[in-house]
Amino acid sequence: MSETTEAVVPLEPKQTLVDAVRERWNGVRAGDVGSLPIILALIVIAVFFDLKNSHFNDPGNVVNLIIQMAGFTTIGLGVVFVLLLGEIDLSVGYVSGVCGVIAAKFTEPPGTASGWPIHLNGLVAIAAALLAGATIGLFQGAIVVKIGVPSFVVTLAGYLGWAGVVLIVIGNGGTIPIQDKYINGIANDFFSATTGSIVVAVGVAVYAAAQVLRVVQRKRAGLATGSLVVVAAKIIAIAGVSGFITFYIYKPGAVPRGLPYVAVLLAVLISGLSYLATRTRFGRHLYAVGGNAEASLRAGIAVDRVRILGFVIGSTLAALGGVILASRLQSVDTEAGGSTLLLNSIAAAVIGGASLFGGRGHPKNAFYGALVIAGLANGMGLLNLSAGIQELITGLILLAAVTVDSLSRKRLAAAGR
**Site residues, other proteins (CB under 8 A):** 1-11, 30, 32, 217-218, 220-223, 279-282, 284-285, 287-288, 290-292, 294-296, 298-301, 359-360, 412-413, 415-417
Nearer to other proteins, 84 or 348 (CB): 84
Neighbours of 33 (CB within 10 A): 17
Burial class from Cβ neighbours inside 10 Å (0-12, 13-18, 19+) for residue 259 reads: buried
| Cα gap 183→24, rounded to integer Å | 43
Nearer of residues 36 and 297 to other proteins, judged by Cβ: 297
Min dist CB 364 to other proteins, Å, is: 17
Q: How far is the CB of 3 from other proteins (least distance, A)?
A: 6
CB of 399 to other proteins, least distance (A): 24
Least distance CB 198 / other proteins (angstroms):
25
CB of 361: closest distance to other proteins in angstroms? 10
Is the CB of residue 91 less than 8 Å from the CB of residue 82? no
Q: Which is nearer to other proteins, 12 or 181 (CB)?
A: 12
DSSP conformation letters of 47-95: HHHHHH-TTTT-HHHHHHHHHHHHHHHHHHHHHHHHHHTT---TTHHHH
Q: How far is the CB of 288 from other proteins (least distance, A)?
A: 5
DSSP 8-class letter at 13: -
Select from 59, 67, 21, 73 the least CA-distant residue to 260: 67
Contact (Cβ atoms closer than 8 angstroms) between residue 291 and residue 361: no
User: Residue 18 or residue 383: which is nearer to other proteins going by CB?
Assistant: 18
* DSSP string covering 326-383: HHHHTEEETTTT-TTHHHHHHHHHHHTT--TTSS---HHHHHHHHHHHHHHHHHHHHT
Q: Which is nearer to other proteins, 147 or 221 (CB)?
A: 221
Q: Write out the DSSP string of 27-50.
A: HHHTT--TTHHHHHHHHHHHHHHH
How far, CA to CA in Å, does 72 sit from each of 67, 93, 98, 126, 229?
Answer: 10, 9, 15, 17, 35
Nearer to other proteins, 52 or 279 (CB): 279
The smaller minimum CB distance to other proteins, of residues 248 and 282, is found at: 282
**Do the beta carbons of residue 89 and residue 82 sit within 8 Å?**
yes
Residue 260: strand pairing partners: 190
What is the amino acid identity at position 213? L
Q: How far is the CB of 78 from other proteins (least distance, A)?
A: 20
As measured in angstroms, the least distance from the Cβ of 279 to other proteins is 5
- Residue 352 or residue 375: which is nearer to other proteins going by CB? 352
CB closer to other proteins, 115 vs 226 = 226
Asked if 247 and 274 count as a contact pair (C-beta separation under 8 A), the reply is no
- Quote the least distance from Cβ 7 to other proteins, whole Å: 6
User: What single letter denotes the amino acid at residue 217?
Assistant: Q
How many whole angstroms separate alpha carbon 72 and alpha carbon 188? 16
CB nearer to other proteins: give 287 or 367.
287
Question: Shortest distance, CB of residue 85 to other proteins, whole angstroms?
Answer: 12
Query: How far is residue 260's CA from residue 264's CA, in Å, rounded to a whole number?
Result: 7
